[in-house]
Structure formats: C-alpha cells, structure tokens
Amino acid sequence: MTVMTTPRPDIGVGDLLVEVTRMRMLCDGICEFTFAGADGGALPTFSPGAHIGVQWQPGRCNSYSLTGPAVDPAEYTICVRRDDSGGGGSVWLHGLGVGDQVVISLPRSAFVPISTARHHLLIAGGIGVTPILSHVRAAVHWNRSFEVIYTHRPGFGALAREMRDLCGDRLTVVEAALDFWDHLGPRLCDSPLGTHIYTCGPGPLIEGVAAAALANGWPPDRVHSEQFAADVAAGGEPFAARLGRTGVLVPVGSEVSLLAALLERGVAVPNMCRQGVCGECRVAVRGGPIDHRDSYLTDDERAKGDTMMPCVSRALGDHLELDL
Ligand code: FES
C-alpha cells in the first residue's frame, strides 16, 4: 500500500512552521487566520505592531500584522484582504484550509509604541487597523492613555467589534472620508503635549495625517506610521548594478526591480513585502545616485545615499555600486 503524505514545507533559519487552526471571514474579502505552532509548542512573544512574513512560494513572502495578544501567545492571528490583482500571496492564503501548514518568519516590528509617550493617538485606515489593534491591546494592558480614530468604508470595518470592546468611548469610527479630517483636526490641536501619533493605512492617509500634524507644529519624532500597501512601481529606466565585493555586473531591465535582478543572479537578499515598506531587503550602497521609492527609510537616511531598498528603489543614472 502506498501512503500519500503532504510534503512538509522547507523551513529556513528564523522561520517557524505553523498550522492553520481557524479561518473566519470578517467582511467581504477579508479573512482572519489563526495559527498555532505545528509542533504544539509555544510561539514567541512579540512587540505591539509587529508583523510576520507568510511564505506562499519558496522565496516569496507577504507581510501581515499580528492582531492578537503579544505576550506568551498560544496562537498568532492575522487578517488578510484578498487582492486578486496583487502578486498572488493573498489569494493563496484565502485558498488555505484548517489543518494546512504554513512557514512564517519570526515576528518583527518597525512600528512599536513609544513607552514614554504621554498619550497615544492611533489612526487606522481600512485594513491598516491590524497593527493598531495590537497597539490598543498593549495600551489597555499597560493602562496607557490612548484614543483611536478608525476610518473605513461602510461594511468594511473588519475589526470594529474587537476595537469597540477594547476601546469603549476612546474609539471614534468614521465611515466618510471628509468626516475623518473633521475629527482629526481638533485632536491635532488639543492633544496633550507629549502625545505620539501612529497611523497605519493607505499611503495618502499616512501622508495626509503626517502633513497635518507637522503643519500643526508636531515634532517629526512624534509622528509614526506604517504603510499597509504601497502603490509603488518598481520598474523604470534600465541600469547596471555592480556588486562591489566581486565586481560582478548585474543588468536591471526596465520591467524588473533591482531586487528581482539580484535574486535572479543568485544573490541572496532577504526580502518580505517587496513594496518598500518592511525594511527587510535593505542593502548598503557604495556609489551612484539612488532613486528612493520606498516608505521605510528616513529623510536623513536617504540623504546620506549609502543605503537603499532594492525591491522598489533604483538607480537615478545608469549604474549603482552595491556593498554585496
Ligand atoms: S522587501 Fe520590504 S522593503 Fe524591500
């Protein structure tokens, strides 16, 4: 008799093998997945606002924020909006079933709450509510002062119930875009000194909130964001990337990203979001002007010109030299 077994996914260093234990549709197109360790063991604690990479093809990961409790979690929970025009990862996830095994990365975070903040003003746009929910859990746990403005289209408040239960009257839900700015404006003026503002959602929301905060005199280091989905074109003029340590020249065509060209050439560059958001693919640059298109590096880091995110950023001229 031949026994058929499901092949066990390859697990790399720093990866975890988990099993889908629950799937729940939150609203049209958005599914919540719960994972437990495939070996039944404990999962690592994470920082509020952390994300994991979900490997949906060898070498291809999508990044999703963890929404459940962060300390000694028995399970991890993420929410995935199905995007039929995306790279394929969300569609793959929506096709999973309970009992399927998945390789994920260890949790990472570039969007942590500032523990010394006097007050936390949390702004969630659409599916960008996921890391904000994690911040809210931490704020409630540590009894921190906070409030949330959650804006979403009618019928698409994926985590509205959880937010209401945790926040009570500290939550303002806004379903009309214009109303959002009416609610935010006064909060930018009358929040206590020492407040930090955190925004997660589409790029225009993040940029609008940051611009309004800075225009109202907020110090830049109190304005934090995590872009949920960048709409960044990775193509452009062709150029060549020289690998400084070996002298190898990697041509980068107009339709491909520098990251894709490097991977194609066998250069192992860690990556996750491929949208210039997560910071995973950062590489050092030895020379050549850079066309920065990411939303991860700070203005100061860009100005130095010695680092870039090759998943979206390119050469401004016809060549770059990388420290690879
Ligand atoms: S892979 Fe996430 S910033 Fe490049």
Q: Where exactly are the structural domains of the chain? A: 16-104, 119-227, 239-322
pLDDT given at position 40? 86
Ligand 1 pocket residue status of 276, Cβ below 6 Å: yes
Give yes or no for residue 274 CB within 6 A of ligand 1. Answer: yes
Residue 28, pLDDT score:
92
Q: Are 295 and 319 in contact (CB under 8 A)?
A: no
Assigned fold of 119-227:
Rossmann fold (3.40.50)
Ligand 1 centre to CA of 251 (Å) is 20
Strand pairing of 319-322 and 239-243?
Answer: parallel
Record the tokens describing residue 304, joined without a space. Answer: 């130095």
CA distance 62 to 145: 32
Residue 294 beta carbon below 6 angstroms from any ligand 1 atom: yes
Q: Judge if the beta carbon of residue 260 lies within 6 A of ligand 1.
A: no
Question: Span 6-16, mean pLDDT?
Answer: 65
Q: What are phi and psi of 36, to 5 degrees?
A: -120, 155
Query: What sign does the CA torsion over 151, 156, 158, 159 have?
Result: positive
CA of 60 to the centre of ligand 1 (A): 11
More confident residue, 245 or 255: 245
Pocket test for ligand 1, best of 54, 63, 272, 290 (most atoms within 8 A of CB): 272
Look at 113-122, 161-170, 238-247, 252-261 and tell me which has the smallest mean pLDDT: 252-261
Query: Within 13 Å of residue 289, how many CA atoms lie on the same side as its CB?
Result: 4
CATH of domain 239-322: 3.10.20.30
Contacts 24+ apart (CB under 8 A), 187-194: 187/121, 187/147, 187/149, 188/212, 188/213, 188/216, 188/218, 189/216, 191/119, 191/121, 192/118, 192/119, 193/118, 194/117, 194/118, 194/119
Architecture of domain 16-104: Beta Barrel (2.40)
State residue 235's pLDDT score.
Answer: 73
What was the pLDDT predicted at 12? 64
| pLDDT for the residue 133 | 97
What is the C-alpha to C-alpha distance for residues 48 and 65, in angstroms, rounded to an integer? 9
Decide if pLDDT at 176 tops 60.
yes
Å from CA of 269 to ligand 1 middle: 10
